[in-house]
Amino acid sequence: MNQLITSFIVRCHVMDSGKRDYRIKLTHVQGENELSFDSFEEAMKYMKETVEGLENPIEEERR
């Protein structure tokens, strides 16, 4: 069995603006990439794309 493990650090900052306004800072530990997002959906999309790229490295090189 081939196992792939990748890790992310997720920091959530709830803005005090009277509405649900978030700032999400996401760090991919192995790649040391740190990005900021305005929504959980955007952060999850980035994590999914990162993991899928690790699972299919040949396809990632073609992009």
Mean pLDDT of the chain: 81
**Which amino acid is residue 7, in one-letter code?**
S
The reported pLDDT for the residue numbered 62 is: 40
What does the pLDDT average to over 23-50? 90
More confident residue, 40 or 55: 40
For residues 12-31, one letter each, b for 16 or more C-beta atoms within 10 angstroms of the residue's C-beta and e for the rest, the string is eeeeeeeeeeeebebebeee
Query: pTM for the whole thing?
Result: 0.70
